[in-house]
Amino acid sequence: MILLLLYFALGVAVVGTLSSAVFLGLALLGVLRFHRDARRQLSNIAGDAHLPPVSVLKPVHGLEAQLKENIESFFRQDYPDYEILFAADRADDAALEVVREVCARYPHIRSRILVTGAPWPNPVVYSFHRMSEAAAHEILVTTDSDVEVSPRYLREIVPPMLDPKVGMVTCVYRGKNVAGFFSGLTAVGMSVEMTAGVLVANLLEGMKFGLGPTTVVRKDALAKIGGYAALQDYIAYDFAIGNLIADAGYRVVLSGHIIDHVVNQKSFRRMWQNQLRWAQSTRYSRPKGHFGSGLIFALPYGLLGFFAAGAVGYWRTAAVLLGIAVVNRLIEAWLVGWTVVRDPLVWRAPWRYPLRDLLGFFVWFASYLNLRYVWRDSRFELKGTRIALRQTSSNGR
């Protein structure tokens, strides 16, 4: 019986090794398409006279890592006409002091601050709703507070919206680690694992979802899906808005621009909570894709094959399976993490990604075991197939 289980485990390892190799091949094709599309977008950037004015919507919540630098990067845009709106749930939110300080340093950039409260299950979506009502311009750029951008950010992400058939633009991001080892695992996962998944999805079916750190929408497309009110119960609102806009007949474009997503997870517990929340939201937003993603990991199958083959005496096979898995992840780290998002951590410490790959498998597995997670200061429970939020307890907010 034990021998039979070992051979079964070896078979699973071989299947997983092959499926992860297939995914690597798809990632390669996705990277090639991304670079082709990025070159085309850069060649079609309009001059100042043709760039439309935009409203940047930025919710804030607490003193996040390098908050001042993140906010200031949006005031340094090489763009002819834009405004920035900030929103917080409460008037005494500590982030607002930083926001006011930065706004005062750039009086030539129009900026406003709104205190919104949080009457909807997803307070970020409610902030976007309130800011969109106050926004002066038709094109809305939504962005998280833990995002840092280059001066050409708006100039490169807005032009696709000049096509009336385009309803939304979104972009991939690299993780910027500011808090040590565990935070670095999350950051390299953003740069490689997340980006690879997006590129493969774009290759196979086109963009039918958004990515939270940045989306660009037009008010007419937003109105056609029922506005932000249609997203009030979603934790993965970024996925949902892109999905709804695509279903409404608009194109969703993946920009060639790369932004920095600041990661500040100082403990394993904090890292695990964030990873599990993302995995659970993906499980409900793309149930089939999430289930199939269990076959794209390489290192877990390499280790399974190593121990199973070794246990039955096939040590050469064991070494080959493990070696293939490690090489697979190192190639993916370079292919996606360096040639696409230019993550310096991938270049300096490529061994982190195989370790992240192993962690990612455990997070994927755990996403089927637990439906509760921590978001902001509260605990929530995923309910039903719409990834609806239901607050179950609160810690101080």
Question: Distance (Å, rounded) from C-alpha 254 to C-alpha 244?
Answer: 16
Query: Between 287 and 249, whose confidence is greater?
Result: 249
Task: Determine the 3-state secondary structure of 33 from DSSP.
Answer: helix
Q: Please state, in angstroms and as integers, the Cα–Cα distance from residue 101 to each residue in 60, 75, 77, following that order.
A: 14, 12, 18
The pLDDT of residue 143 is above 90: yes
- Cβ-based burial of 106 (10 A; exposed 0-12, middle 13-18, buried ≥19): middle
Query: Using one digit for the tens of pLDDT, what is the confidence trace for 29-49?
Result: 999 999 999 999 998 887 888
**φ and ψ at 149, to 5 degrees?**
-130, 160
Whether the Cβ atoms of residue 84 and residue 58 lie closer than 8 Å to each other = yes
The pLDDT of residue 379 is above 70: no
Residue 383, pLDDT score = 53
What stretch of H or E contains 69? helix 67-75
pTM of the model: 0.90
User: Quick one: how far is CA 291 from the chain centroid?
Assistant: 18
Q: Which DSSP string do the residues of 43-57 spell out, in sequence order?
A: HTPPPGGGPPPEEEE
Whether the Cβ atoms of residue 236 and residue 383 lie closer than 8 Å to each other = no
Question: Distance (Å, rounded) from C-alpha 296 to C-alpha 365?
Answer: 13
Question: Distance (Å, rounded) from C-alpha 190 to C-alpha 187?
Answer: 5
Residue 380, pLDDT score = 53
Q: What domains appear along the chain, each with residue ranges and CATH number? A: 2-30+287-394 (no CATH), 47-283 (3.90.550.10)
Question: Distance (Å, rounded) from C-alpha 305 to C-alpha 303?
Answer: 5
Residue 82, amino acid: Y
The pLDDT of residue 395 is above 50: no
The pLDDT of residue 342 is above 70: yes
Residue 202, pLDDT score = 96
Nearest in space to 260 (alpha carbons), one of 193, 197, 213, 210: 213
Residue 119, pLDDT score = 87
HSE-up (13 A, CA, CB side) for residue 357: 27
Whether the Cβ atoms of residue 159 and residue 38 lie closer than 8 Å to each other = no
Dihedral angle sign, alpha carbons of residues 310, 315, 316, 322: positive
Q: What is the mean pLDDT of residues 8-28?
A: 96
The per-residue pLDDT of the chain, averaged, comes to: 91
Residue 102, amino acid: V
Task: Determine the 3-state secondary structure of 383 from DSSP.
Answer: strand
Question: Distance (Å, rounded) from C-alpha 79 to C-alpha 47?
Answer: 10
Residue reference for tokens 């940045």: 214
Task: Determine the 3-state secondary structure of 204 from DSSP.
Answer: helix
Q: In this structure, what is the dihedral angle of CA atoms 382, 387, 389, 393, given to the nearest 10 degrees?
A: 20
The pLDDT of residue 216 is above 90: yes
Q: Name 29's Cβ contacts closer than 8 Å, sequence gap at least 6.
A: 203
The pLDDT of residue 233 is above 70: yes
Q: Tell me the chain's radius of gyration from C-alpha atoms.
A: 22
Residues belonging to the chain: 397
Residue 266, pLDDT score = 87
Question: Distance (Å, rounded) from C-alpha 288 to C-alpha 278?
Answer: 16
The pLDDT of residue 229 is above 60: yes
**φ and ψ at 253, to 5 degrees?**
-110, 135
Task: Determine the 3-state secondary structure of 327 from DSSP.
Answer: helix
Residue 397, pLDDT score = 35
The pLDDT of residue 370 is above 70: no
Q: What is the mean pLDDT of residues 189-203?
A: 96
The DSSP output letter for 228 is: G
Of the listed ranges 83-87, 121-125, 330-334, 384-388, the least confidently predicted one is: 384-388
